[in-house]
Amino acid sequence: MTVALSEFAPLLPEIFILTMACAVLIIDLYLTDKNRHISYLLALATMAGAGIVTYIVMPTTPEIVLAGTFISDQMSAVLKMFVYLITAGVLVYSRQYLVERDLFKGEFYVLVLFAVLGMMVMISGHNMLSIYLGLELLSLCLYALVALQRDSSTAVEAAMKYFVLGALASGMLLYGMSMIYGASGSLDLMEIAEHIKGVQEKDLVLLLGVVFIIVGLAFKLGAVPFHMWVPDVYHGAPTAITLFISTAPKIAGFAIIIRLMADGMGDLQHYWQDFLIVIAVLSLIIGNIIAIAQTNLKRMLAYSTIAHMGFLLLGIIAGTAEGYSAAMFYTIAYAIMGLGAFGMIILLSRAGFEADRLEDFKGLNDRSPWYAFIMLIIMFSMAGVPPALGFWAKLAVLESVVNVGLTWLAIIAVVMSIVGAFYYIRLIKLMYFDKAEDTALIEGTLDLKAILSANGIAILALGIFPGALLAICTNVML
């Protein structure tokens, strides 16, 4: 048995990113601080190049290569495209912020590129081993990125918490995987699915494995009751890195839930559905209610992320192709909205000042009507007010839950969305009806202002014309 070279063809995007990450690592050594922006441009070019390569190798039917460890299908191609897009957005948003805080270093770009590689491995994982390794690759980069501002005690504390809890979650996930392996005798998701199909009576080993895997995944997603690290890490990390952590990895997280729960253990749905219902309901309630009490915008958005993860899980709970595509739509919509929200904090921040308190947004309309309007769109979208993108995302998820007969779950989600609307709209009130305390000019560089405007317009435009994105998400799940 040998590996044919042609088996590596579907891996071209991964190979491209890995090569470019190593190239940036080497090239950056020879750059002076004055030329550091070459690393930045290279990282951006990598995202664009990876997009092209992924488009070229996009298959029409799923291809499983390398002894079943790698799958390339339409879902993986679409999700990877969005990871590139979101990461490119993060890079543009964060440039000025990093320069002002002495974090504009080659390591940042190298670690981001490796993190993107980790996400791609997760998205294309078809074997528990490769999914786990992708997750570890991503997590390791994120721990290091959070700690990159090493003279900031909050950042180091956040990194420490993230690392310890992340390691615990990995342990849980691995333990669950070992149980599934013990029961089915395989790491390959397709073989696991076949084994589960053949099991007639209740198998406790499978059940225990499912429980541990769900705990590990919930930890990584930041769903209640495994959410403790989310606010501390989002708050403690430099905003540019919070921006990254809170957006692109969620797409990869969604992908591994689909691969593990739907593809691998789809026939165990009656086992995991109840667990996920408890986790989703708790996330919706605790995320939305505790967010009201926050005075720091980064913490508030962290709790809102927890609530959004609850919504994402609703789509998975439905367990139908419709539910999965709704969850995918929700994840992508959330990543675009989160990018804008944290990007706004970056725009208002300047050297030595973090605009991460709610008061910093007071009277934003007087300072700049345009950016206040963009923030208004983002907040409306997160709250789920039409015609913003978030409305369609929530609608799609709720529809899929109602269609499988879990109407009470949809009612809880709607009630909690209304509770959540309070703190989003409070921010809008601060922007439009309060007097500005801070009257400094909004200084952001042109690229930052351009991408923020584009991001806001994209949320509005996708909200008015959601058909294309919805169609993509529906098609890849069929």
Partner 1 sequence: MSAELILFYLFSTILVVAGFMVITIRNPVKAALFLVLAFIACAGVWILLEAEFLAITLVLVYVGAVMVLFLFVVMMLDINLAPLKEGFTRYLPLGAIIALVIVIEISIVVGPERFGLEQIPAPEPAAADFSNTKELGRLLYVQYVYPFELAAVILLVAIVAAIALTLRPKRHTKFIKIEDQLDVRRNDRVRMVNMPAEKKKSPRRQKQG
Between 182 and 467, CB nearer to partner 1: 182
> 297, exposed or middle or buried, with CB in 10 Å at 0-12, 13-18, 19+?
buried
Check if the beta carbon of residue 267 is closer than 8 Å to that of residue 193: yes
Q: Measured in whole angstroms, how far is the alpha carbon of residue 379 from the centre of its chain? A: 18
Site residues for partner 1, 196-235, by CB under 8 A, read 204-205, 207-208
| Residue 275 dihedral angles phi and psi, to the nearest 5° | -60, -50
The residue from 26, 48, 52, 67 that contacts partner 1 (CB under 8 A) is 67
272 near partner 1 (CB under 8 A): no
> Which residue, among 326, 324, 360, 331, has the nearest Cα to 442 in the 3D structure?
360
We find the least distance from the C-beta atom of residue 204 to partner 1, in angstroms, to be 5
Between 185 and 369, CB nearer to partner 1: 185
Q: Alpha helices, DSSP H only, in 349-466? A: 364-367, 369-383, 389-403, 407-433, 446-464
We find the least distance from the C-beta atom of residue 349 to partner 1, in angstroms, to be 23
Q: Which amino acid is at 135?
A: L
Between 215 and 301, CB nearer to partner 1: 215
**What single-letter DSSP state applies at residue 260?**
I
147 near partner 1 (CB under 8 A): yes
Between 1 and 446, CB nearer to partner 1: 1
1 near partner 1 (CB under 8 A): yes
The residue from 111, 214, 318, 348 that contacts partner 1 (CB under 8 A) is 111
69 near partner 1 (CB under 8 A): yes
| Residue 22 dihedral angles phi and psi, to the nearest 5° | -65, -40
- Other beta carbons less than 10 A from residue 68's beta carbon: 16
Euclidean distance between the first and final Cα of the chain, in Å?
34
133 near partner 1 (CB under 8 A): yes
Between 67 and 471, CB nearer to partner 1: 67
141 near partner 1 (CB under 8 A): yes
We find the least distance from the C-beta atom of residue 38 to partner 1, in angstroms, to be 18
We find the least distance from the C-beta atom of residue 130 to partner 1, in angstroms, to be 5
The residue from 13, 134, 315, 456 that contacts partner 1 (CB under 8 A) is 134
The residue from 27, 58, 66, 436 that contacts partner 1 (CB under 8 A) is 66
114 near partner 1 (CB under 8 A): yes
Q: What x-and-dash track marks residues 162-181 binding partner 1 by CB under 8 A? A: -----------------x--
249 near partner 1 (CB under 8 A): no
Q: Alpha helices, DSSP H only, in 101-152? A: 106-123, 128-146
Number of residues that bind partner 1 (CB under 8 A): 38
Long-range CB pairs of 209-212, under 8 A, 24+ apart, other chains included: 209/176, 209/177, 209/178, 209/179, 209/180, 209/182, 209/183, 210/176, 210/180, 210/265, 210/268, 210/271, 210/272, 210/275, 211/176, 211/275, 212/172, 212/173, 212/175, 212/176, 212/177, 212/179
The C-alpha atoms of residue 288 and residue 422 are separated, in whole angstroms, by: 9
Check if the beta carbon of residue 246 is closer than 8 Å to that of residue 301: yes
Separation in Å, CA 272 to CA 206, 265, 408: 11, 9, 18
Separation in Å, CA 371 to CA 281, 348, 352: 34, 10, 21
Q: Considering only the stretches 56-64, 143-151, 220-228, 319-327, report the one whose residues sit in contact with partner 1 under the rule CB under 8 A.
A: 143-151
We find the least distance from the C-beta atom of residue 131 to partner 1, in angstroms, to be 10
Q: What x-and-dash track marks residues 10-29 binding partner 1 by CB under 8 A? A: -x------x---x--x----
Q: Give the start-end residues of each E strand in 222-351.
A: none
**Token pair 């779950």 is at which residue?**
409
The residue from 144, 218, 300, 388 that contacts partner 1 (CB under 8 A) is 144
We find the least distance from the C-beta atom of residue 162 to partner 1, in angstroms, to be 13
Between 179 and 473, CB nearer to partner 1: 179
Q: Which residues bind partner 1 (CB under 8 A)?
A: 1-3, 11, 18, 22, 25, 66-67, 69-70, 105, 107, 110-111, 114, 117, 121, 127, 129-130, 133-134, 136-137, 140-141, 143-144, 147-148, 150, 179, 182, 204-205, 207-208
